[in-house]
Amino acid sequence: MILAEQHAITHVDVVVAAPLGALTYEVPPGDRESIHIGMRVRVPLGQRHVWGYVIATHTETPSSDFTLKPLVEISNEISLPVHLLALVRFASDYYNVALGDMLQAALPLKAKEKTPRFLTVGDALAASCNERMTTLFNLLKDNKRGLTAAHLATRLGISRPSVAATLRTMQKNGLVQIHGTTRTKRRQTIAPLTAWGFTENTDKPKLTPEQAHATDAILASINEKTFSAFVLHGVTGSGKTEVYLRAVEQALLLNKSALVLVPEIALTPQFGARFRHRFGDPVAVIHSGLTPAERRDAWDRVSQGDVRIGLGARSAIFLPMEDLGVIIVDEEHETSFKQDETPRYHARDLAVYLAHRHGCPIVLGSATPSLESMANVSRGKYELLQLTKRVHQRPLPEVTCIDMTTTELDPDGVFTAPLLNAMQETIDRDEQCIILLNRRGFSPHVLCKGCGHTFTCTACSISLTFHKRRNMLLCHYCGFSTGVPQTCIKCESDRIEAFGLGTERVEAIVRERFPSVASIRLDRDTTRTRTSMEKRLQDFRDKKAHILIGTQMVAKGHDFPEVTLVGVLAADSGLHIPDFRATERTFQLLCQVAGRAGRGTLPGRVLLQTYNSDHYAIRAACAHDAPAFYAQEMQLREELRYPPFAHLVLVRFEGENEQETKQEAERMSSILRANVRMGEIMILGPAPAPIERLKGKWRVQTLLKASNRASLHKALQHMTVRPTAGVRWVVDIDPFNML
């Protein structure tokens, strides 16, 4: 008995959903044998009690000058899986984020939850019950709706932990049961696939030789239950999704689970339908577009083991999945996998860590893999699987580059004659076309022709965009809006005009040019709700419109068999963004949108309007020549010491006072320079951010470069001084947004 006490858990480390690290609490004696890592507990924090999760247990009380506070309550609800807690801890350490902030990002948004109530079972107490059990039983037996532990503690005048411990003992003895919560202990057995509507007779397409080779490699790793990282580099329309389906099928047959990440909310209905059609209905979909209740429901279905396939955007990486057999990241190159607010994690990179911890393969699929992934292939860390041909021997679309330096625009100032003619021919054949312009609104600039004054946001150093339908000027960064001025605030001239091109203006011109043809616009302004996005995509798929106009939303992953023409306006606009990844993103976007053409039985073609037809990214996209692009871009990155040949940390300083913000940036940059080894880390800046003012805050940034990550993390440890009042630090590990 004495030996058991010596090894009993006496205190635990708890993380709560707040910007804090782990906190240590005492475990009440009655709970020391049942407490475990992942358990949900209520703890005192200041003047309130909050819920958190146990992340470590200890059998020896720490030596300190203060007394540890005890746990208030231990929940009977399901615990967090150890793998998920490990992921949260790893992400917290790697991305330099408070453990509590990372936990808050990992857990589903709060939804209204039922408070657990305790009910009696049977009519008589066991003879071995003590006085407190008898009292609790008598209080419960006449309350058909049950009572909460808090209510019982108040009635008896004793602490809630003591009541909770007694109730758990009574529950083990079959005297009480919990009512009012759907979250229960995860079941140990898993239903066979046939119970979910899957049979071996499912009509599956025959694999091409390239698909079969890729599938065999991935399935071998799934069967061996070992970590492997595969880059599935497949041209658009080559059947990457079928390879994903075969991999998930094998994982399910082994009673494993599968996690599938997609870059856009718009892709979840399409992917969800494919997986449900193949496997029945064991799919939990989660993303930021769901309501809190929907997210909680998906979370619960996974945590209870009712669902073995998790599907979603970036946040789905934190689904509480166990026994993972495979992880798939579709369009792995997409920057949307990197969160652009605290905590700034990258879901693709965390997925690699998660696969390694579970001992399962991860498949990184893309028609245009990121340079980081291709570098890992060349270093032998990842294995390259290639799908160089489309299924059913369909040809890749013919891509024509329209040189705007020698081709005049139509009087509308948007389309060239070749593109307009191609659109008319497509419509005459009752086929569909997509028009891409990666800029929303009617016009991106409104200025005075009298003095040249440009109307900018009052809180950001950004031009206001004119939205004609709403007759408003909007800032696409902070949401500021104002009416269209009648006169210039500088010279009082009435010569106010809108310049430039946006999707709303393109839509208006298309409807003027093709008045009898229905068109649909897809951008952030027309898809503010999930249902509106799904409806527009489905309407186009059902051929209720022949022309789809949109931003990059129309380029990613959609399968429209009737689309035979893609037109790209201002194909080179992304090249001019002050970001070292601008060229890579331009190449990827052009390849992705070109891949929407000719995916059915009819051949496709693509027309790109550009002023930079000789740029290597444009040339490579037109020729479907990814190796040529990677070779040249890799050479430039290596010369300039940018990823994948270096690692970056962006430290941004934000404040309402411009001078104080600059001084803080200089102070911290000096501290960093004084504490790093010359040649080991390159420190650039501080300098004004490309968008110098955003949402009322001045922004100055310093960029750290190093050949290894450890040096950067070590350098950040010197940022121990407190920030100057009024100035906020933002530390972005592996930044993707340099603006």
- CA 12/CA 56 separation, integer angstroms: 6
Domain membership flag for residue 43: yes
* Domain co-membership, 510 together with 496: no
Residue holding tokens 């595969």? Answer: 230
Is residue 251 helix, strand or coil?
helix
CA angle 114, 118, 123 (to 5 degrees): 145
Please, what is the Cα angle at 532 between 544 and 437, to 5 degrees?
75
Q: Which of 430, 432, 397 is nearest to 598 (CA)?
A: 397
Question: Distance (Å, rounded) from C-alpha 443 to C-alpha 196?
Answer: 51
Per-residue pLDDT tens digits for 245-266: 999 999 999 999 999 999 988 7
Strands (DSSP E) found in 66-162: 73-74, 117-120
Q: Are residues 145 and 125 in the same domain?
A: yes
Q: How is residue 364 written in tokens?
A: 């990184």
DSSP 3-state of 423: helix
Query: Are 246 and 328 within one domain?
Result: yes
Question: In terms of domains, do 337 and 229 share one?
Answer: yes
Q: At what angle do helices 530-541 and 268-279 cross, to 10 degrees?
A: 70
| 584 and 510 housed in the same domain | yes
Tokens 């899957």, located at residue: 198
Asked if residue 696 is part of any domain, the answer here is: yes
Q: How many domains does the chain have?
A: 6
Query: Cβ–Cβ contacts within 10 Å for residue 567, how many?
Result: 29
Please list the ranges in the chain whose pLDDT falls under 70.
1-7, 61-65, 77-78, 109-128, 142, 144-145, 160, 178-198, 200-202, 281, 530
Looking at residue 53, its pLDDT comes to 92
User: How is residue 72 written in tokens?
Assistant: 């208030």
Q: Which amino acid is at 700?
A: V
8 Å CB contact between 719 and 668: yes
Q: For the residues of 645-665, what is the DSSP string, one character each? A: SSEEEEEEEEESSHHHHHHHH
- Host H or E run for residue 54: strand 48-58
- The phi, psi pair for 134, rounded to 5°, reads -60, -45
Task: State the CATH number of the domain containing residue 34.
Answer: 3.40.1440
What span, in angstroms and rounded, lies between the C-alpha atoms of 326 and 260? 9
- Under a CB-based contact definition with an 8 Å cutoff, are residues 700 and 642 in contact? no
End-to-end Cα spacing for the chain: 63
Residue 203 lies in a domain: no
Structure tokens at 591: 């390849």
**Based on the number of CB atoms within 10 Å of its own CB, is 336 exposed (0-12), middle (13-18) or buried (19 or more)?**
middle
Angstrom CA distances, 133 to 126, 155, 177, 361, stand at 10, 14, 14, 51
Contact (Cβ atoms closer than 8 angstroms) between residue 704 and residue 682: yes
**105 Cβ contact list (under 8 Å, min separation 6):** 315, 318, 339, 343, 345
- Pair (556, 470) in one structural domain: no
Evaluate whether residue 383 is within a structural domain: no
* Domain around 403: 394-440+503-637
pLDDT at 125: 54
Which distant-in-sequence residues (6+ apart) come within 8 Å of 479 by Cβ?
Answer: none
Q: Are residues 146 and 162 in the same domain?
A: yes
Q: Which residues pair with 25 in a beta bridge?
A: 12
Residue at 388 is within a domain: no
pLDDT in tens, 322-371: 899 999 999 999 999 999 999 999 999 999 999 999 999 999 999 999 99
Cα 467 to chain centroid, rounded: 29
Q: Is residue 195 part of a domain?
A: no
Q: How far apart are CA 181 and CA 113, in angstroms?
A: 8
Q: Are residues 523 and 488 in the same domain?
A: no
- The reply to whether 329 and 475 lie within a common domain is no
80: tokens are 């967090």
- Examine residue 389 and state whether it is found in any structural domain, yes or no: no
- In DSSP notation, 324-359 reads EEEEEEETTT-GGGB-SSSS--BHHHHHHHHHHHHT
Distance CA 160, CA 113 (A): 20
Query: Nearest-CA neighbor of 728 among 656, 644, 631, 622?
Result: 656
C-alpha distances in Å from residue 414, one per residue of 276, 411, 478, 507, 720: 42, 8, 28, 11, 53
- AA identity, residue 455: F
DSSP string of 512-581?
Answer: HHSTTS-EEEESTTT-SSHHHHHHHHHHHHTTS-SEEEESGGGTSS---TTEEEEEESSTTGGGGSSSTT
Residue 403 shares a structural domain with residue 552: yes
E strand or H helix at 45, and its extent?
strand 40-45
If one counts every other C-beta atom within 10 angstroms of the C-beta of residue 407, the result is 12
- Distance, in Å, from the CA atom of 279 to the CA atom of 250, rounded to the nearest integer, reads 11
Query: What is the reported pLDDT for 531?
Result: 79
Crossing angle of the two packed helices 626-640 and 371-378, in degrees rounded to 10 = 90
DSSP states along 455-502 = PB-SSSSSBPEEETTTTEEE-TTT--EEEPPSS-TTT--S-EEEES--
DSSP class of residue 70? B
Q: Are residues 426 and 541 in the same domain?
A: yes
Token pair belonging to 174? 């079959």
Q: Which CATH number does the domain housing residue 216 bear?
A: 3.40.50.300
Is residue 9 a part of any domain in this protein? yes
423 plus 493 within the same structural domain: no
